[in-house]
A and B are shown apart, each in its own frame.
Chain A
Amino acid sequence: MAPTLPIVGIGASAGGVEALEQLLRSVPADNGLAFVVVTHLPPNRESMLADILGRATPMPVVDAKDGEKVEAEHVYILPPSAILTIEQGRLRLRHTGPADRERAPIDVFFNSLAEDQGEHAIGVVLSGGGHDGTLGIKAIKENGGLTIAQGANVSRPRFVEMPLSAVAGGFVDLELPVEDIPQRIVAYVRNWGAFDPEKPGDVLANIHRLLRSRTGHDFSDYKERTFQRRVQRRMQVVQTTKLEEYAERLQKDAEEVHALFRDLLIGVTDFFRDAAAFQALETSVIPKLFEGKGADDEVRVWVAGCSTGEEAYSIAILLREQCEKLVTPPKVQIFATDIDETAMGIARAARYPANVIKEVSPERLRRFFSQEAGTYRVIKELRDMCIFSTHSVIRDPPFSRLDLISCRNLLIYLKPTLQAQIVPLFHYSLRPGGFLFLGSSENLSRYGELFAALDRKNRIFRRRDLISRPPLPLRQFLPNARREPGTEDGQNAFLQRSDTVRKLAATVVERFAPTFVIVDEAGQTLFFSSGTGKYLQPAAGPPNRDIVAMARPGLRADLRAALHRAKETGERVVRERIAVQINGGLQMISLAVERVLEGNETAYGIVFTDRGPIRSDEDVAGASRPVGEGEDATVRQIEKELQETKERLQSTIEELETANEEFRSSNEELLSVNEELQSTNEELETSKEELQSVNEELQTVNNELSIKIDELDRANADLNNLFQSTQVATIFLDRNLLIRSFTPAVTKLFNLIPNDRGRPLTDIVSRIDYPDLEHDMRRVCRGAEVTERSVKVSGGNGHYLARILPYRTPNNEIDGVLLTFVDISNIIAAEEQQKVLAAELSHRVKNTLAVVSSIAERSLPNDAAKAELLGRFHALGHTHDLLSQTGWIEAPLREIVSTELAPYAGGGRVNAAMNGPSVMLKPQAALLLALVFHELATNAAKYGALSTPEGRVEVAWTIAGDRPSRLELTWREHGGPPIDGFPTRGFGTELIERGIRFELQGEAKLDAVDGGLQCRIVIPADAQFIVFGSPPERPTTEEAAS
């Protein structure tokens, strides 16, 4: 046999995740199987099933994709909002929307699998509520596949409804604990193709014989190939490889015989099963059911053993179609029964997977079914025609006045004795001329007098109405009646009923006939009617059956003579006017004796008839009555009794009729109550289904939520630990500024206790001086930026940095605020101290310089050197001032230049100009350049442009270059006395040319340009010395201040 991939379809619902995990964990390596998992998932939700199951097995676990080829040792999972089918080994996935949700995805897939893979399909039903999967399992089994349900004994499924429903339907081959399922499947698959007996013919013949003797059915007409396959399949299920071994097993195991029997009988479940038979039903039977019926009449049908309802609905379709051909159709009522309650539930739901509807023509499909995702549902019109109820044909009273009974493939499962009870029951239930429709392996050859074959090939029979001995099979339903133990011969029952009739007849006769005795040839009594005591009495001595001996005085002689005469002549002998002595008088009687023959038996009937009342002896002695009078009296007596009897009968009949009327009206009420109950039932069924599916979804969601909760617990624990550990006071507030939670450190600042959660923060007393707190929090809540403020402790020495941040949800919406307080008291104190120190220092330095100046002033003789010295001290002092203004950070170049030029600007002269962007100099550079400009200015005042009114100094600077950039400054003198050469070297030139290079890594050059001094200074940008103001300001020409 070519290797075929065994595909295992697994259906599970509530409680299924656990079961699936266990199953997958137990799958052995190199199993060579493919698994497709179908579960009930809520739509539009991400499912974690693939992840969870992926952890349970090394095989890849993936969501099924449309068109994907199924491969060995892979697990495919139905995703949410979709239904799954399979075609030629490829998965077909169809997405469903909210409008067409599929309630039975497992049935849909299993049916498809059964059709596509036939014998190679394997179906497994695990824990779940409802009965999804039952119809699908049925299909797999009927197509020769293997069916398994999670057993409810060892590792119980959490929800047993789904597996139990499948098992109850009789469609499950194996019921196993979930851990054992994979291994079993592997063993089963290994046995494929292992069927190879040496002499199959003999063994199979044995099996045929066994079946016949154990079940009473002869399968010799069964197709050879199919028979073999069924046997083979059973062998695979029970894991036997040798045919001979299996035959032995059958010998010993009655259950296995039953299982094989069921398998052999299983056909494909369909609507219109045996299409030809239904065709015949449609043409020959259905129209006749409606003949002569108007709108007030009813067509009543009983479908016995209807299982999951396909048969009942098929017939309903035919009936409905017939109704539509009529102008005033009668009402139609179909009673559909089965002993399997689960099947009844499925039948009422009336939903069938798409491929079960194979035999239904497209027009009928359109007209009578509504499509729901992967299943078809019978429309309400038809559903209303059918009443499904649990009912046993054997134990429960039958329906009556039926036009048609359809009982297909039920009788074949019953022993002939049971059949013998049921067939007459059917006969009783049908109205005259009613029809019986049986299954294709059934016949009624034994019941020829009850049913005539209308169409033997299609198993349609008609009730025979004129039968000699109408059977009354109802005694078995009487309260204390037990079923009489059946004998092997069905005829006996028939005879028994005749016996009954005979007995009843006898009873009637007894009541009305005169007293009689039956004796044999020898005069020995065989039978006494009632009332013989008047004429006979037991003889004294041992019991004696001789009639003559028993005759009362006065009778004996006549009796003996009459008997003798009758024996001789063989004719009736009558003796009149015999006086019998009884207690209290004489009874005149007439005596008749007649021979009666029965078969080979000869007997004599002796009849005693009273003639007149009991009289005293004297009356009798003398009387000689005319015969007519005495006879008239007797006749009158009889007539009187007859009249009384008739009256009694009449009143009995009237009572019976009244009772009947009451029954009828009760029946009517019950029917209408039934109608209401049926529709309530429908609604309840629907509700139940919805509840079930909600329940299943909840289970799944519950599982996933459990996992989430665990993660959440962990996260919470982490958070709690974090809170406890942190020293930063943090408060969480919601959108309404109510306290959500806070860290322990907060209690230093706010009087909070745990019960304060939920209160507004502003209610709480705090030690912080932050009047705008509420306002700031609201602003941040509305979407402002993080707010920081330095706040003080009220009446204390602490400083805190308060930060208010918005609390953002994962969707980035603001759902509250976070308030944190960081203790910056130390930092603030340090800052304060620093300011104090800096101020102090600045003051000290200034003073020291002043002191030095004063000392020079006092100590030195007044000469040029002293003036120069003091000038330089002053330049330093001014620069210190400028630096102090920024806290000794920096001083503006412009100010330094203008300070040095200031002494030379006055009296309305405009002889100095500055031009350049904002440049800030760090202290060291500021001091050095101040001295430089001081030297340039004093030099200009002595020898250069500032020495004459016409002279002019222009100081211009720019920032040039880019990374590195540099400060380029030019000091130009115009209009002063011309200089020929360079000024001699001195303090100033040293400072300018060497100092700038030394301290600032810059360059300075002194030139004579157009007879005026020019000093060009270039200083590279170095943040240590120079900060260029940003952005570069527009250079303005400034006049030196007057």
Chain B
Amino acid sequence: MTAELKGARVLVVEDEFLVASVIEDMLESAGCVVSGPMPRVADALKAMDHESYDAAILDVNLAGDRVDAVAEALSRRNVPFMFVTGYAAGSLPVGFAERPRLSKPFKLADLLDTLSSIVKTPLPRSAPLE
């Protein structure tokens, strides 16, 4: 099941160091190539200008920033992504409520499963953002 993940380039956006380093370890253990983790929205957006990704994992609330801008940018580039969040469901970025999400704390297996699913399924159409 995790075959798709081998060599997948994954962007990780997360501002808690320990959580980020664990995610990084998990993904690397599955063979992904991790970009980041990036604690800031600005850093993530800059990275996206230079590189392309197969998937992304987004923490919803970053050091006070909201991750909406990153979600929109990813959507425009048709990069599949999922949310990890400590918040209740109601506070996801607008227009992306139907994207997969995991609540923290989460198990390694769940993370990899969810990631696999978004890498291989075609992307739902997002609402155009303006």
Residues of A within 8 A of B (CB): 924, 928, 990-991, 994-995, 998-999, 1024
B90 lies within 8 A of chain A by Cβ: no
B16 lies within 8 A of chain A by Cβ: yes
A-B contact pairs, 22 of them (CB 8 A): A924-B15, A924-B16, A924-B63, A928-B17, A990-B21, A991-B17, A991-B18, A994-B17, A994-B21, A995-B17, A995-B18, A998-B17, A998-B20, A998-B37, A998-B39, A999-B15, A999-B16, A999-B17, A999-B39, A999-B63, A1024-B63, A1024-B64
Chain B residues positioned under 8 Å from A990 (CB to CB): 21
Query: Restricting to B1-40, which residues have a CB under 8 Å from any CB of A?
Result: 15-18, 20-21, 37, 39
Shortest Cβ distance from A724 into chain B, in angstroms?
41
Shortest Cβ distance from A837 into chain B, in angstroms?
13
Q: Considering only CB atoms, which chain A residue lies closest to B39 in the complex?
A: A998
Q: Which 10 A-B pairs have the closest CB atoms?
A: A995-B17, A998-B17, A999-B17, A998-B39, A1024-B64, A999-B39, A1024-B63, A999-B15, A994-B17, A928-B17
Chain A residues positioned under 8 Å from B20 (CB to CB): 998
Most interface-central of A990, A994, A998, A999 (chain B CB within 10 A): A998
| Interface residues contributed by chain B, number (CB under 8 Å) | 10
Number of A-B contacts (CB under 8 A): 22
Chain A residues positioned under 8 Å from B63 (CB to CB): 924, 999, 1024
Q: Considering only CB atoms, which chain B residue lies closest to A1022 in the complex?
A: B63
Chain A residues positioned under 8 Å from B17 (CB to CB): 928, 991, 994-995, 998-999
Shortest Cβ distance from B34 into chain A, in angstroms?
14
Q: Considering only CB atoms, which chain A residue lies closest to B15 in the complex?
A: A999
Given A924-B16, A928-B17, 4 additional A-B pairs, CB 8 A:
A924-B15, A998-B37, A999-B17, A1024-B63
Shortest Cβ distance from B42 into chain A, in angstroms?
12
Shortest Cβ distance from B16 into chain A, in angstroms?
7
Q: Considering only CB atoms, which chain B residue lies closest to A931 in the complex?
A: B18
Q: Considering only CB atoms, which chain B residue lies closest to A924 in the complex?
A: B63
Bound Cα distance A47, B45 (Å):
70
Bound Cα distance A134, B73 (Å):
94
Chain B residues positioned under 8 Å from A999 (CB to CB): 15-17, 39, 63
Shortest Cβ distance from B76 into chain A, in angstroms?
27
Chain A residues positioned under 8 Å from B21 (CB to CB): 990, 994
Chain A residues positioned under 8 Å from B39 (CB to CB): 998-999
Q: Considering only CB atoms, which chain B residue lies closest to A927 in the complex?
A: B16
Chain B residues positioned under 8 Å from A994 (CB to CB): 17, 21
Shortest Cβ distance from A872 into chain B, in angstroms?
10
Q: Considering only CB atoms, which chain A residue lies closest to B37 in the complex?
A: A998
Chain A residues positioned under 8 Å from B37 (CB to CB): 998
Shortest Cβ distance from A843 into chain B, in angstroms?
17
Shortest Cβ distance from B43 into chain A, in angstroms?
11
Chain A residues positioned under 8 Å from B18 (CB to CB): 991, 995
Bound Cα distance A911, B18 (Å):
31
Bound Cα distance A807, B20 (Å):
60
Bound Cα distance A994, B21 (Å):
10
Bound Cα distance A998, B12 (Å):
13
Shortest Cβ distance from B60 into chain A, in angstroms?
15
Bound Cα distance A999, B20 (Å):
10
Shortest Cβ distance from A95 into chain B, in angstroms?
72
Bound Cα distance A991, B63 (Å):
18
Chain B residues positioned under 8 Å from A928 (CB to CB): 17
Bound Cα distance A46, B72 (Å):
69
Shortest Cβ distance from A941 into chain B, in angstroms?
22
Bound Cα distance A995, B37 (Å):
12
Q: Considering only CB atoms, which chain A residue lies closest to B16 in the complex?
A: A999
B46-77 interface code vs A (CB 8 A; 1 in, 0 out): 00000000000000000110000000000000
Q: Considering only CB atoms, which chain A residue lies closest to B105 in the complex?
A: A852
Bound Cα distance A991, B18 (Å):
8
Bound Cα distance A854, B18 (Å):
21
Bound Cα distance A344, B18 (Å):
114
Shortest Cβ distance from A404 into chain B, in angstroms?
112
B73-107 interface code vs A (CB 8 A; 1 in, 0 out): 00000000000000000000000000000000000
Bound Cα distance A995, B18 (Å):
8
Chain A residues positioned under 8 Å from B16 (CB to CB): 924, 999
Shortest Cβ distance from A107 into chain B, in angstroms?
83
Chain A residues positioned under 8 Å from B64 (CB to CB): 1024
Bound Cα distance A214, B128 (Å):
110
Bound Cα distance A233, B18 (Å):
113
Shortest Cβ distance from A898 into chain B, in angstroms?
23
Shortest Cβ distance from A240 into chain B, in angstroms?
87
Q: Considering only CB atoms, which chain A residue lies closest to B64 in the complex?
A: A1024
Chain B residues positioned under 8 Å from A924 (CB to CB): 15-16, 63
Shortest Cβ distance from B67 into chain A, in angstroms?
16
Shortest Cβ distance from B86 into chain A, in angstroms?
11
Q: Considering only CB atoms, which chain B residue lies closest to A994 in the complex?
A: B17
Chain B residues positioned under 8 Å from A1024 (CB to CB): 63-64
Bound Cα distance A995, B20 (Å):
10
Bound Cα distance A928, B18 (Å):
9
Shortest Cβ distance from A914 into chain B, in angstroms?
25
Bound Cα distance A990, B39 (Å):
16
Q: Considering only CB atoms, which chain A residue lies closest to B40 in the complex?
A: A1001
Bound Cα distance A928, B21 (Å):
14
Most interface-central of B16, B18, B37, B39 (chain A CB within 10 A): B18
Bound Cα distance A924, B64 (Å):
11
Bound Cα distance A924, B59 (Å):
15
Chain B residues positioned under 8 Å from A995 (CB to CB): 17-18
Chain B residues positioned under 8 Å from A998 (CB to CB): 17, 20, 37, 39
Bound Cα distance A990, B37 (Å):
14
Bound Cα distance A928, B19 (Å):
12
Bound Cα distance A1024, B40 (Å):
13
Bound Cα distance A994, B20 (Å):
11
Q: Considering only CB atoms, which chain B residue lies closest to A999 in the complex?
A: B17
Bound Cα distance A928, B16 (Å):
9
Shortest Cβ distance from A208 into chain B, in angstroms?
104
Bound Cα distance A466, B80 (Å):
149
Q: Considering only CB atoms, which chain B residue lies closest to A872 in the complex?
A: B18
Bound Cα distance A991, B19 (Å):
11
Shortest Cβ distance from A603 into chain B, in angstroms?
147
Chain B residues positioned under 8 Å from A991 (CB to CB): 17-18
Shortest Cβ distance from A1022 into chain B, in angstroms?
10
Q: Considering only CB atoms, which chain B residue lies closest to A1025 in the complex?
A: B63
Shortest Cβ distance from A877 into chain B, in angstroms?
16
Bound Cα distance A998, B18 (Å):
10
Chain A residues positioned under 8 Å from B15 (CB to CB): 924, 999
Bound Cα distance A8, B34 (Å):
98
Bound Cα distance A991, B16 (Å):
11
Q: Considering only CB atoms, which chain A residue lies closest to B17 in the complex?
A: A995
Shortest Cβ distance from B105 into chain A, in angstroms?
10
Bound Cα distance A999, B15 (Å):
6
Shortest Cβ distance from B32 into chain A, in angstroms?
19
Q: Considering only CB atoms, which chain B residue lies closest to A987 in the complex?
A: B18
Shortest Cβ distance from A716 into chain B, in angstroms?
50
Shortest Cβ distance from A801 into chain B, in angstroms?
30
Most interface-central of B15, B17, B20, B63 (chain A CB within 10 A): B17
Shortest Cβ distance from B64 into chain A, in angstroms?
6
Shortest Cβ distance from A855 into chain B, in angstroms?
12
B95-130 interface code vs A (CB 8 A; 1 in, 0 out): 000000000000000000000000000000000000
Bound Cα distance A991, B15 (Å):
13
Shortest Cβ distance from B90 into chain A, in angstroms?
15
Q: Considering only CB atoms, which chain A residue lies closest to B36 in the complex?
A: A998
Bound Cα distance A321, B77 (Å):
121
Shortest Cβ distance from A922 into chain B, in angstroms?
10
Bound Cα distance A998, B21 (Å):
10
Most interface-central of A928, A991, A999 (chain B CB within 10 A): A999
Shortest Cβ distance from B47 into chain A, in angstroms?
15
Bound Cα distance A998, B15 (Å):
8
Q: Considering only CB atoms, which chain B residue lies closest to A996 in the complex?
A: B17
Bound Cα distance A990, B18 (Å):
9
Q: Considering only CB atoms, which chain A residue lies closest to B63 in the complex?
A: A1024
Q: Considering only CB atoms, which chain B residue lies closest to A995 in the complex?
A: B17
Bound Cα distance A998, B63 (Å):
11
